[in-house]
Amino acid sequence: MSERSFMATKFIPVSCICNGSNLGSMSPRPHYPSMPRYPNGLSPKQNREDGSVLKVVFQVTGMTCSACATSVEKSVKRLPGIREATVDVVTNRAHVFFYPSSVTEESIREAIEDVGFQATWVQEETDIDKPIQVCRIRINGMTCTSCSSTVESALQALRGVQSSNVALATEEAEVYYDPKVVSYNQLLQTVEDSGFEAILISIGEDISKIDIEIQGIKTDHSMGTVTKSLRALPGVQDVDVFPQLNKISISYKPDTTGPRIFIEVIESTGSSHFKAMIYPQGRGRDSHRQQEIKQYFTYFLWSLIFTVPVFLTSMVLMYIPGIKRVLDAKVVNKLTIGEILRWELSTPVQFIIGRRFYIGSYKALRHGSPNMDVLVALGTNAAYFYSVYTLLRAALSRDFEGTDFFETSAMLITFILLGKYLEVLAKGKTSEAIAKLMDLAPDIATLLTLDEEGNVIREQEIDSRLMQKNDVIKIVPGAKVASDGLVIWGESHVNESMITGEAKPVTKRKGDTVIGGTVNENGVLHIKATSVGSESALSQIVRLVESAQMAKAPVQKFADRISKYFVPMVITLSISTWFAWFLAGDLHSYPHSWIPSSMDSFELALQFGISVVVIACPCALGLATPTAVMVGTGVGASQGVLIKGGQALESAHKVNCIVFDKTGTLTVGKPVVVNTRLLKEMLPREFYEIVAATEVNSEHPLAKAIIEYAKKLREDQEKPVWPEVQDFVSLTGQGVKAIVRNKEIIVGNKSLMLESNISIPMDAEEALAEAEGMAQTGIIVSIDREVAGVIAISDPLKPGAREVISILKSMKVKSIVVTGDNWGTANSIAKEVGIEAVIAEAKPEQKAEKVKDLQASGYTVAMVGDGINDSPALVAADVGMAIGAGTDIAIEAADIVLMKSNLEDVITAIDLSRRTFFRIRMNYMWALGYNVLGIPIAAGALFPSTGFRLPPWIAGAAMAASSVSVVCCSLLLKNYRRPKKLDNLGIQGIRIE
**Helix 372-396 vs helix 337-348: angle between axes, to the nearest 10 degrees?**
150
Residues 576 and 940 sit within 8 Å (Cβ to Cβ): no
Order of strands, sheet of 236-242, starting from the edge strand that comes earlier in the sequence: 236-242, 247-252, 208-215, 275-278
Amino acid sitting at position 21: S
d(CA 787, CA 678): 9
491 contact partners, CB below 8 Å, separation of at least 6: 507, 508, 509, 510, 523, 525
Partner residues linked to 740 by β-bridges: 725, 743
513, containing H or E segment: strand 513-514
d(CA 697, CA 702): 12
Residues 772 and 10 sit within 8 Å (Cβ to Cβ): yes
d(CA 79, CA 113): 13
What's the angle, vertex CA 605, arms to CA 604 and CA 607, rounded to 5? 65
Which of 206, 200, 201 minimizes the C-alpha distance to 254? 206
Helix, strand or coil, per DSSP, at residue 674: strand
Cβ atoms < 10 Å from Cβ of 937: 18
Count CA atoms closer than 13 A to 923's CA, side-chain side. 32
Nearest 10 degrees: Cα torsion 346, 348, 350, 355: -170
**Helix 355-366 vs helix 372-396: angle between axes, to the nearest 10 degrees?**
120
d(CA 214, CA 944): 70
Mark out the alpha helices in 180-245 (DSSP H runs).
184-193, 220-231
Query: Computed over its alpha carbons, how large is the radius of gyration of the chain?
Result: 34
Q: Is 905 a catalytic residue?
A: no
Catalytic choice (373, 404, 512, 661) = 661
Helix, strand or coil, per DSSP, at residue 869: coil
DSSP annotation of 535 reads G
DSSP letter for each residue of 407-460: HHHHHHHHHHHHHHHHHHHHHHHHTHHHHHHHTTS-SEEEEEEE-TTS-EEEEE
**For 92-158, what is the HEC assignment?**
CEEEEEECCCCCCHHHHHHHHHHCCCEEEEEEEECCCCCCCEEEEEEEECCCCHHHHHHHHHHHHCC
d(CA 993, CA 30): 9
**Helix 406-430 vs helix 337-348: angle between axes, to the nearest 10 degrees?**
30
Helix, strand or coil, per DSSP, at residue 726: strand
d(CA 8, CA 843): 9
Helix, strand or coil, per DSSP, at residue 386: helix
Q: What's the chain's length in residues?
A: 993
DSSP annotation of 550 reads H
Q: How do 519-520 and 492-495 pair as beta strands? A: antiparallel
Q: How do 275-278 and 247-252 pair as beta strands? A: unpaired
Tell whether the torsion through CA atoms of 677, 680, 686 and 689 is positive or negative.
negative
DSSP annotation of 10 reads S
Active site residues: 661
